[in-house]
Structure 1
Amino acid sequence: MSQIRAKIRAAFHRSFPHQFRRKTATFIVATSAALFVLTLLTTPVSADSNGPPNVVFILADDLGFRELGSFGQTKIKTPNLDKLAAEGMRLTQHYSGNAVCAPSRCVLLTGKHPGHAFVRDNRSTPPEGQLPIPDDEVTLPELMKRHGYATGAFGKWGLGGPDSTGEPLRQGLDHFTGYLCQAHAHSYYPPYLWNDGKRIDLNNSPAVPGHAGLADGADPADPHSYDVFKGQDYAPDRINAAAMEFVKTNRQQPFFLYYPSMIPHVALHVPDEELKPYTDLGWNDPPFTRERNGYTPHFTPRAAYAAMISRLDRYVGNLLSLLDELGLAENTIVVFTSDNGTTHLGEEVDYTFFSSVGELRGLKGSLYEGGVRVPTIVRWPGHVAPGSTSDRISGFEDWMPTLLDAIGQAENVPKNIDGISLLPTLLGNAQPERPYLYREFTGYGGQQTIRVGDWKAVRQNMQKGKLETELYNIATDIGETKNVASDHPMIVKELEKMMADVRAPSTEFPLIPLDSPVKKK
């Protein structure tokens, strides 16, 4: 018990992990344009005549921990991603930035955990977009651009609408194609997308809404009643093509490609040709008719959801094949992960049928494991061992220092972030245990959690003024089924103190009762 308390206290005193990086080697990589000085945390990576590595960062949307074959899925086919895992490393205790889209992406792009990040929940800013990140936030694309990288993002942004401070081209991106607004991205057959600050019309007339019901009098047992939710111009195809064109255009220079896909976020929109491999399986697949609420109906929702993930897998395969074709694969870091866990909309996405989060508790919107532990793969030929696995605890805030470290810019990691470089782990070297991993979320009732080693403290319903702390031992109870807080009061006390000390109050997203008094009814 004393050892556990010592570990927790030590973790608190290491609340600023950037001060504890270890640098053990420096060497020079020659390129045709400049000299790149690499300071690594561990043994040197062999020099590469192609220069600093390219980075392709692929972010799925609402993909659950067990929804890839390489992470235990048995019903949905993901051959390209499974191959990527076989060629790289699986991170089995990696945590998204938060439990829903916008705050998770904010953590990813700023390197700050949710107790320091500016965006801590989804918030729309009509007529289009979400609360923008401010000008003074330093983002990963800005840093990559500063160090000579061409930068592009393709997919769903969610951190600022048109003409806002968070608009992609104002946050370090040379190019952006996709949706600025998360609500706009609920339709895969929209009327337009954004391309470098301009609207481009799609061939969807009429556009398919993200939220709508069957027509009055339509027969829910007739598959043709659902044809109204099928469009002509599938936006993910456009986005995948734009991402590939970015690679072709920038193949002669280092590039950073951020690919925040909309898939498999509902609505269940996918071309019919993708459905057949799953409808042929004979699943008992009752239609989703949207009798109460939700997104748009689908005649075969299980097949549609599986087909969407397989479509994403195909897009990833397209990119990987292009890297091979252009001779770039050996010098490209590819990261694949998800912004949070599987949606909780069970009538649309049958997460029980697919065992989407497996043995984990919680879904999207929850800070229990199923809402934030996400499937993560890293491939870097010659550096990351094929078929390797790491169970080291890590999170989205770690990608900024990791990628800067990998391109030889460790000394230029911002000092005010919370991330810790994962490079030693990716290279197969020993790395100290993460001091702590902190998450807070004002949505879904208000939540707070911190993990130190195997201990995880959780608070729920905080916006109602509740401060009761649950305690779980993740090593022995991965499903968070047994609250052992009453058995370990001293550990609970230490973790509660840490949860108070490692965060800063937010005026935009106050976590009640920590940031403001409880309102009386």
Structure 2
Amino acid sequence: MMNKNLNLVCFALTLVFASCQPDKKDSQSQEIKPPNIIFILADDLGYGDLSCYGQEKFETPHIDQLAASGMKFTSHYAGTSVCAPSRASLLTGFHTGHVPIRDNKSLDPAPYGQREREGQWPLADSVKTMPEILQENGYVTGAFGKWGLGGPGTEGEPNNQGFDQFSGFVCQSLAHNYYPFHLWNNQTKVDLPENSDGQFGAYSPDLIQEQTLKFIEDNQENPFFLFVPTALPHAELIAPEEEMSQFEENLEEGKPYEGVDSGPAFRKGALASQDKPHAAFAAMIKVLDNQVGEIMEKVKELGMEENTIIIFTSDNGPHHEGGGDPEFFNGNGPFRGIKRDLYEGGIRVPLIVSWKGKIAENSTSDHVSAFWDFLPTFAEIAGFEKKTKWDGVSFLPELTGNSAEQKEHDYLYWEYHGEAGKQAARIGKWKGVRTGIREGNRTIELFDLEADPGETNNIASEHPDMVQKIQNVFKEAHQTNQEFKLGYLDEQKNE
């Protein structure tokens, strides 16, 4: 439960936030108001980390309820296998061969605890983002959680990328700490003095959730886009004791994680120690699930269900950091790989979409979709003109039961710039993966996802024509980027 200091912090955040509220658009009638869009983005939540997707170690009843009220997708993909480029793909409508941000590149390359500048490489002003486009079409926009696409004072910070309101972590490295020294409300830095000298008082997910719910209440008469890029359940693994207690007795515990509990790195991005990582992880998912339930209840309470679309997904596969144990939890479900892999477990993620009266309840779709599809989908839902040639295609027909009219992708494409560089592409049932690019590797593995969803059997030698098609996609989809180099592809693009 929040202590007295935490309540004071919440009050201070509310005062800062109230001064930044936009005027309500009273002139818009309820009849013609475009639908509200609530987009909840979990962080490092694997395909198998929800009970409605097969999790058996714990339950996620509110997220399961969201799935029961709408459509659950079984073949949906993140932008890539790490945070910043995956989010950039989501917000721009481009896959990672075209998107400007292609890795988790910090503004200050110093190690954790020694960085003087917050934030990651900034998304440029020249890039038109989802919230900017929605703003232009009458939406009030708010983001609450973890940003990671440009530090304070840069062109990439949230208020410069289309968000009227922002509350949370601008720097994704500092979002590793759930009891941080400070958060941001727009350009205002809000210190959290109770999280100092080893004291843990203000749990950031609780603080940010207060502002999330307030945004919904304040804008119930406006069409709004609410982006909730929660840090949960990204490492570090930590939760309030009252959330952990129910799992401490019921879960077999994992190996304790030895992190940083004092010194210059403490509360500056380095991960804290955790004696009970399994209980902590399950408790963090419980906090996330409860918060999804609170958002759903707020929408229902305000009578907004029929004009609000709620989306839940994750930015990439499950993690090992801080004591994370996807093997124990079966976090990647039936798939191979985790975060940082371009095998299915690193990029195939849960997707749930609910819209009362528009999307059939308890429905399931195997339509192949990806993060870059959301912008064209929202364009069609909200009825605004598509002015940019995005990489995605709208999947509104699939959502509304008109699957016969649904356009399919010619291919899906991903890059990951860490670990010597990786590429992957999917063409129909075929999946190609290449690793070690900056080490000169040009070999492509090939998998038949219908026969082998776990990608256990490389059949490249049996299908040279399909390998060549994958190779052609790798060449076509990758565009050289001056800040993010993938390797020989940049020097020999036309080989």
TM-score (structure 2 length as normaliser): 0.88
Amino acid at match of 1:423: L
Alignment partner for residue 54 of structure 1, among 22, 36, 50?
Answer: 36
The answer to whether 1:81 aligns with 2:63 is yes
Alignment partner for residue 173 of structure 2, among 178, 183, 197?
Answer: 183
Match of 2:390 in 1: 417
Amino acid at match of 2:71: M
* Structure 1 residues 187-206: aligned runs within 5 Å: 187-206=177-196
Where 2:225 maps in the other structure, the secondary structure is strand
Amino acid at match of 1:419: G
* Structure 1 residues 218-367: aligned runs within 5 Å: 228=198, 231-290=200-259, 295-345=271-321, 348-367=323-342
Match of 2:413 in 1: 438
Match of 1:97 in 2: 79
Where 1:435 maps in the other structure, the secondary structure is coil
Alignment partner for residue 447 of structure 1, among 393, 409, 422?
Answer: 422
The answer to whether 1:109 aligns with 2:81 is no
In 2, Cα distance between equivalents of 1:465 and 1:517: 12
Task: State the shift of 1:432 in Å.
Answer: 3.2
Task: State the shift of 1:506 in Å.
Answer: 1.2
In 1, Cα distance between equivalents of 2:407 and 2:375: 18
Partners of 2:43 and 2:229 within 8 A in 1: yes
Partners of 2:179 and 2:195 within 8 A in 1: no
Match of 2:348 in 1: 373
Task: State the shift of 1:359 in Å.
Answer: 1.5
In 2, Cα distance between equivalents of 1:498 and 1:285: 42
Where 2:488 maps in the other structure, the secondary structure is coil
Task: State the shift of 1:32 in Å.
Answer: 7.6
Percent identity over the alignment?
A: 44
Where 2:84 maps in the other structure, the secondary structure is helix
Match of 2:19 in 1: none
The Cα offsets for residues 56-111 of structure 1, whole Å up to 9 and x where unpaired, read as 00000000000001111011221100000000101111100011000000000000
Match of 1:154 in 2: 144
Cα RMSD (Å): 1.9
Task: State the shift of 1:444 in Å.
Answer: 2.0
The Cα offsets for residues 256-309 of structure 1, whole Å up to 9 and x where unpaired, read as 000000000000121000011111215244422349x98221121100000001
In 2, Cα distance between equivalents of 1:440 and 1:282: 36
Match of 1:22 in 2: none
Where 2:483 maps in the other structure, the secondary structure is coil
Where 1:289 maps in the other structure, the secondary structure is coil
Partners of 1:457 and 1:492 within 8 A in 2: yes
In 1, Cα distance between equivalents of 2:492 and 2:359: 49
Amino acid at match of 2:457: K
The Cα offsets for residues 109-143 of structure 1, whole Å up to 9 and x where unpaired, read as 00011010000111000211000010010000001
Partners of 1:442 and 1:511 within 8 A in 2: yes
The answer to whether 1:491 aligns with 2:466 is yes
Task: State the shift of 1:463 in Å.
Answer: 1.2
Task: State the shift of 1:415 in Å.
Answer: 2.6
Unaligned runs of 5+ in 2: 1-24, 109-116
Where 1:352 maps in the other structure, the secondary structure is helix
1:190–1:284 CA distance, 2 compared to 1 (3 A) = closer
In 1, Cα distance between equivalents of 2:492 and 2:392: 31
Runs of 4+ in 1 over 6 A off after TM superposition: none
Unaligned runs of 5+ in 1: 1-30, 36-47, 208-227
Amino acid at match of 2:399: L
Match of 1:216 in 2: none
1:238–1:205 CA distance, 2 compared to 1 (3 A) = closer
Match of 1:396 in 2: 371
Task: State the shift of 1:445 in Å.
Answer: 2.0
Alignment partner for residue 476 of structure 1, among 426, 451, 454?
Answer: 451
Match of 2:401 in 1: 428
Pick which of 193-202 and 280-289 moved more: 280-289
In 1, Cα distance between equivalents of 2:387 and 2:147: 23
Aligned length: 451
Match of 1:515 in 2: 490
In 1, Cα distance between equivalents of 2:434 and 2:320: 19
In 2, Cα distance between equivalents of 1:425 and 1:284: 42
Partners of 1:360 and 1:480 within 8 A in 2: yes
Task: State the shift of 1:244 in Å.
Answer: 0.6
